[in-house]
Structure 1
């Protein structure tokens, strides 16, 4: 069936963390369910809908920030007990609101994630995992990298407790007691875990996972080790997956996979009728795209269509922190219940939109119930307006000079939900900023050169200011946001070898005017990301260092130079990491211990950047380094061949874009263009697409020229030769690009 979902807002709570909303178990059939939601104000509330009005079952008093909400109960029974984590404490409530548990764990970190199965409680902070059974400490594990999520396989189907830790080092670790049984390698850092079909499949050992770069996969975790069933990697950049659920929203008798993303997308994937875990699910529905088309087809009033578009675009522009399928608004109508970062709790219901708005397609008649609801809303708005006017007058009177002791203008502290992540698809950084109030403008300042790329869903207007790189300002840009913009996405492309700090000044639409600063490190090898395998067959350049440095010192240097390095040094005597360049696909392997470090890469420019940075850091601490570098000339040819497809495609694109305007002029004067060659006909037919593609990659050709120039200089620098005078000849070769001629130039000069 085709999905036809309409949005219905239920209520707004405070700021929320991922996985802090759950639907209470259904009494049976398609009867209405209660919604349990918790926020950063420390308030847990359970509500239901009666005649399209919110009815609170209970609401707790404010307290510490709530980071996780889970449902639990004895094995084999209905899971109708509510458990929340606040600080290092776990509290339990019955469905009627009676608190029956207040358990303070021995974690020194704030509990970030939790999982409950039977009488086993699993909690984790940033790096520490603890297992409690009947509130007694049983097992403990210290992770070298950040723990993003935790999940226990269902106790009804597995014989022994099997915790899974989703770690930032692109792995899921299966624990047995306090030890790692095995580790599953993933294509990206996992952010969310969910049991397949909500019960783990036939044996309870199948788990869905989502990553920070938008990938979605299914793995089996049994005694033999991890087995990958399928992996969905869609083209383009997609937001991190923050929540998942399995629910039959399409009504075909098979549960669908519902996904909520950090960029505001809500997606529904359908499985085959035979529920074969090896078959990849199919994308059936995307909220942002499809719901607008539905409204456009069903409502004939153009002004009404515009209003719905504005409303939906605003609300879909928030992080989807929690998502679950069920029946909430009206009995008999399935829906997807969503909670966003700013606290909006709404449903995407299968009930027709006219039933909620009182609109009729043929005539816009208003029913009595709709008229009554409009009257209540009008009364609430008037009451709120009076309260706002009163508080504004009180603030103005307190800010006068007549009573200075009370004239304190407090600047509010903004809770900013931000992410600065490297996208493997286009080798650029995605910076997302989300605030609970509207954003007025955002100022970007960088002390190193970076390029700002276009983002299609970014409606802000950008303006650049003149700056002098010599004075520490390589970039000054301002994004002016439209009204009611709470989320802004910016795409940034860095240059490897140049490192510094990107500062972001966020100004909300608040009085008094205030601004909050966020800082992001641009690292020397910023376009590298972690990987699990190193190809030993590639020609490699080797940099070997010896000196009086500790393991922790070298770990800090590596962490400052490369992204995705754990904050804490490893517990062993030797640390080994492997990285891949998102731009060139070259590899880098790092291995270091106390007083010794080895770096291997098939790109000599990577080795050169590392050598310059590490010697500079060692000099600051007055540490003498013994440096030995083995250069493999074959690696230069290998790198040039990796660059060849990118350079060739960019040269072709630049040539095609240069021909667009002359061909358009020719088309304006000639009626029949059959005499054009197929190549020119293709350029004319796809002119807009080619121009957009060229615009999305500004200065890409210059960047490739710069990489080849750096490769030429670095190759000879390790031989003690200065070849900067020959760069002009190299550029002449690039202007008449031919791969074999370029390789010959590198070999003979």
Structure 2
């Protein structure tokens, strides 16, 4: 670490959304800047820090939730105009708090993201993109994917106005005059866009849901260029990005805010792909970061990273040393007159707050009793920030739950077979319900959280078979006691994810269904089977979607239109599950369908060869882990004993992390690979109309324990070998 920053806590506001914190420019480059922050209670406030005290300049009354905040100004002037988006309206304020603009966009969706560039206004709802100039509509675009962010800039060479929207379906689209001119495919779902300005050049960066930062080549319409930051250690989603010269060497650093509460500062060179980025500073937190901005805030002449969390905590990471009054020789602090006055002031404020709290509690007790009769009391709905995302590396789901107050306990219920795995950051105590008291194949577990825990991560391992739902009952530390219910859909093919291209050299089997179903009906059926399906089908004659399995890397091609749907896959189990689910849905609707199945025998050989490297690798990992555990039991870790070991065992002790970490993070991975082959064997025979006995499945299991490719093929196709 080459950068030293100290944390300074400033104030607390309401629950915040992404892009709801900005800094206003100051007249002097080294003077502190004013802070603009907006929250979900509809309050916009501007304040500054002077001698560690908050000086409030203006504050609006509560109203509709503010979903986006931007600062802008006329080209060539300071960006000191404040714009907020709430509902489908945009309001403009001066830095002194005067309301000068109330603009009704006329959008049918609430505004989720906004960008202001001079007199150009770009607004995005969930699916609608709109472009306004001087509050006049210049055009709109209806996107099939969910839009998560929007930015705009003028091209360096052509000076043309260009905007970009990031979509959940792993796409970033370039628009001019509200028309898509270029679509860029990226490997992971983008979460945030950022314009990296250095001298006269502009580079578009984007953060992803798995914690990476990529570079886009928009000028030459080349799409995705390369990964700028590929952090394998932290896969938490990136929620905000800023660029600023924190080191003072003349080149901008990249500052990232993550969903797990970490703030990271990187050295980057966006022009040289061989000059890799490296981490300069990291600040670990417990609440997700919604916005970060860099500038001079707390003290004149000292650069600072200002951040706000989901619950509304605003703090800074400053280059100013905060331990100047610390005496290293005595290990104590030397309090100045100003410090003593601040401490006494804080003590008085705490006593005042405690007095107000006692009065409010007495008032509450009095209000809930009327002539000895208890009356009901209620609290407003609790806001819970939640995500349910697939980790492609481990083929598991990560459920993140965050509340603005401390969480007491969480009850997890699922009507399907789901396993809960250990998470390193999770300190909650989990207890499972007695399996005899619950329905077989279901999950019922309770997490009892530690004190002051307002964010928790849960890791789940799903199995592809039927669609299911996961329910989370979140109970915060509030009185009266209440709980918030969140429900997450688990798709029938939950371990698949959307891709944009695939290898066409694979052997494919085909499943075709024809019937009197509409395009909307078949689109709904497919969305119940597969994740990341757009909410609306494409406007073209037929919709084509590609998917890949995160567990065994098989491919699924989905082509559908009104009255007809076709699936192609190199995994027969995938087609079997689709056939079962779609048949049930058609039966519920009383729709007659014709089913045609074309089985390619080469899919069996192909899939076993596809799984074989992973299977052998994890078998070796487990054998090495057993040997390592045995060596530890014999206490041969001391240097005197290690020298008597063979080179094989010494190497094993030196490379323990290579197999201990994967076994700890995904302990049941080998069993899942075995289940994939066993299910393939069952479904292959069912499609052939062959009934299997239990001894046949045991033969497959024995062959997997003592793996042999030829023996497996002989079991699958005994008459062809």
Provide the TM-score with structure 2 as the length reference: 0.95
**Quick one: distance in 1 between partners of 2:592 and 2:558?**
20
Q: How does 1:220-235 map to 2 (within 5 A)?
A: 220-222=217-219, 224-226=221-223, 228-235=225-232
Please state how far the C-alpha of 1:436 moved relative to its aligned partner. 0.3
Runs of 5+ consecutive residues of structure 1 not aligned to the other structure: 290-315
**Quick one: distance in 2 between partners of 1:593 and 1:516?**
39
SS at match of 2:172: strand
Q: Which residue in 2 is equivalent to 1:630?
A: 598
Please state how far the C-alpha of 1:277 moved relative to its aligned partner. 5.7
SS at match of 1:558: helix
Q: Which residue in 1 is equivalent to 2:317?
A: 348
**Quick one: distance in 1 between partners of 2:367 and 2:302?**
52
**Quick one: distance in 2 between partners of 1:475 and 1:118?**
54
Q: Which residue in 1 is equivalent to 2:567?
A: 599
Please state how far the C-alpha of 1:530 moved relative to its aligned partner. 0.7
What do the CA deviations read for 1:387-422 (whole angstroms, capped 9, x no partner)? Answer: 111111122222336254x82211341100000011
- Of 277, 282, 285 in structure 1, the residue corresponding to residue 277 of structure 2 is 282
What do the CA deviations read for 1:320-367 (whole angstroms, capped 9, x no partner)? Answer: 110111110101111111011100111100111214xx4333332222
Task: Verify the 8 A CA contact 2:388 2:399 in the aligned structure 1.
Answer: yes
What do the CA deviations read for 1:4-41 (whole angstroms, capped 9, x no partner)? Answer: 01100111110000011011113233221111111111
Structure 1 residues 584, 690: closer, same or farther in 2, change over 3 A?
closer
Segment of structure 1 superposing worse, 407-416 or 148-157: 148-157
Q: Which residue in 1 is equivalent to 2:358?
A: 389
Please state how far the C-alpha of 1:243 moved relative to its aligned partner. 0.9
Please state how far the C-alpha of 1:697 moved relative to its aligned partner. 2.0
Q: How does 1:271-350 map to 2 (within 5 A)?
A: 271-272=268-269, 276=271, 278=273, 282-288=277-283, 316-350=285-319
- Of 470, 474, 480 in structure 2, the residue corresponding to residue 506 of structure 1 is 474
Answering whether residue 673 of structure 2 is matched by residue 678 of structure 1, we say no
Q: How does 1:185-196 map to 2 (within 5 A)?
A: 185-196=185-196
Answering whether residue 347 of structure 2 is matched by residue 378 of structure 1, we say yes
Q: Which residue in 1 is equivalent to 2:326?
A: 359
What do the CA deviations read for 1:672-721 (whole angstroms, capped 9, x no partner)? Answer: 44343333334445567755542322332222221110011122222221
Q: Which residue in 2 is equivalent to 1:467?
A: 435
Q: Which residue in 1 is equivalent to 2:246?
A: 249
Runs of 5+ consecutive residues of structure 2 not aligned to the other structure: none
**Quick one: distance in 1 between partners of 2:655 and 2:140?**
60
Superposed CA RMSD in Å reads 2.2
- Of 396, 399, 412 in structure 2, the residue corresponding to residue 444 of structure 1 is 412
Task: Verify the 8 A CA contact 1:117 1:154 in the aligned structure 2.
Answer: no
Structure 1 residues 230, 674: closer, same or farther in 2, change over 3 A?
closer
SS at match of 2:614: helix
Task: Verify the 8 A CA contact 1:270 1:282 in the aligned structure 2.
Answer: yes
Task: Verify the 8 A CA contact 2:37 2:45 in the aligned structure 1.
Answer: yes
Q: Which residue in 2 is equivalent to 1:547?
A: 515
Q: Which residue in 2 is equivalent to 1:270?
A: 267
Please state how far the C-alpha of 1:468 moved relative to its aligned partner. 4.7
**Quick one: distance in 2 between partners of 1:668 and 1:120?**
70
**Quick one: distance in 2 between partners of 1:209 and 1:415?**
27
Structure 1 residues 688, 256: closer, same or farther in 2, change over 3 A?
closer
**Quick one: distance in 1 between partners of 2:526 and 2:419?**
25
Q: Which residue in 2 is equivalent to 1:615?
A: 583
**Quick one: distance in 1 between partners of 2:317 and 2:158?**
34
Segment of structure 1 superposing worse, 573-582 or 713-722: 713-722
Structure 1 residues 78, 669: closer, same or farther in 2, change over 3 A?
closer
Q: Which residue in 2 is equivalent to 1:299?
A: none
Structure 1 residues 687, 165: closer, same or farther in 2, change over 3 A?
closer
Please state how far the C-alpha of 1:94 moved relative to its aligned partner. 1.1
Q: Which residue in 1 is equivalent to 2:718?
A: 748
Q: Which residue in 2 is equivalent to 1:496?
A: 464
Task: Verify the 8 A CA contact 2:185 2:224 in the aligned structure 1.
Answer: no
Please state how far the C-alpha of 1:583 moved relative to its aligned partner. 1.1
**Quick one: distance in 2 between partners of 1:674 and 1:203?**
59
Structure 1 residues 80, 425: closer, same or farther in 2, change over 3 A?
same
Task: Verify the 8 A CA contact 2:186 2:224 in the aligned structure 1.
Answer: no
Q: Which residue in 2 is equivalent to 1:307?
A: none
Structure 1 residues 157, 623: closer, same or farther in 2, change over 3 A?
same
Q: How does 1:47-66 map to 2 (within 5 A)?
A: 47-66=47-66
Structure 1 residues 169, 673: closer, same or farther in 2, change over 3 A?
closer
What do the CA deviations read for 1:225-254 (whole angstroms, capped 9, x no partner)? Answer: 535144433325522111111100011110
- Of 533, 538, 555 in structure 2, the residue corresponding to residue 587 of structure 1 is 555
SS at match of 2:283: helix
Segment of structure 1 superposing worse, 360-369 or 119-128: 360-369
SS at match of 2:347: helix
Structure 1 residues 65, 279: closer, same or farther in 2, change over 3 A?
farther
**Quick one: distance in 2 between partners of 1:556 and 1:382?**
58
What do the CA deviations read for 1:176-208 (whole angstroms, capped 9, x no partner)? Answer: 2232111011111111111023x6x7454x211
Structure 1 residues 552, 55: closer, same or farther in 2, change over 3 A?
same
**Quick one: distance in 2 between partners of 1:360 and 1:135?**
59
**Quick one: distance in 1 between partners of 2:533 and 2:581?**
16
Please state how far the C-alpha of 1:161 moved relative to its aligned partner. 2.2
Structure 1 residues 98, 669: closer, same or farther in 2, change over 3 A?
closer
Structure 1 residues 591, 494: closer, same or farther in 2, change over 3 A?
same
Structure 1 residues 548, 131: closer, same or farther in 2, change over 3 A?
same
Q: Number of aligned residue pairs: give it.
A: 715
Structure 1 residues 628, 282: closer, same or farther in 2, change over 3 A?
same
Task: Verify the 8 A CA contact 1:75 1:155 in the aligned structure 2.
Answer: no
SS at match of 1:352: coil
SS at match of 1:560: helix
**Quick one: distance in 2 between partners of 1:348 and 1:172?**
32
Answering whether residue 708 of structure 2 is matched by residue 713 of structure 1, we say no
Please state how far the C-alpha of 1:155 moved relative to its aligned partner. 7.5
Q: Which residue in 1 is equivalent to 2:400?
A: 432
Segment of structure 1 superposing worse, 731-740 or 229-238: 229-238
Task: Verify the 8 A CA contact 1:230 1:280 in the aligned structure 2.
Answer: no
Task: Verify the 8 A CA contact 1:246 1:255 in the aligned structure 2.
Answer: yes
What do the CA deviations read for 1:39-78 (whole angstroms, capped 9, x no partner)? Answer: 1111111111111111112111111110111111111222
Segment of structure 1 superposing worse, 568-577 or 669-678: 669-678
Answering whether residue 75 of structure 2 is matched by residue 75 of structure 1, we say yes
**Quick one: distance in 2 between partners of 1:609 and 1:156?**
51
Task: Verify the 8 A CA contact 1:117 1:155 in the aligned structure 2.
Answer: no
Task: Verify the 8 A CA contact 1:587 1:601 in the aligned structure 2.
Answer: yes
**Quick one: distance in 1 between partners of 2:129 and 2:515?**
36
Task: Verify the 8 A CA contact 1:118 1:155 in the aligned structure 2.
Answer: no
Segment of structure 1 superposing worse, 643-652 or 425-434: 643-652
Task: Verify the 8 A CA contact 1:443 1:504 in the aligned structure 2.
Answer: yes
Answering whether residue 533 of structure 2 is matched by residue 565 of structure 1, we say yes
Q: Which residue in 1 is equivalent to 2:704?
A: 734
Segment of structure 1 superposing worse, 9-18 or 656-665: 656-665
SS at match of 1:503: strand
Q: Which residue in 2 is equivalent to 1:305?
A: none
Structure 1 residues 386, 583: closer, same or farther in 2, change over 3 A?
same
Provide the TM-score with structure 1 as the length reference: 0.92
Query: Higher helix fraction: Structure 1 or Structure 2?
Result: 1
**Quick one: distance in 1 between partners of 2:239 and 2:180?**
25
Please state how far the C-alpha of 1:280 moved relative to its aligned partner. 5.7
SS at match of 1:353: coil
Task: Verify the 8 A CA contact 1:534 1:589 in the aligned structure 2.
Answer: no
Answering whether residue 84 of structure 2 is matched by residue 115 of structure 1, we say no
Segment of structure 1 superposing worse, 663-672 or 609-618: 663-672
**Quick one: distance in 1 between partners of 2:429 and 2:534?**
37
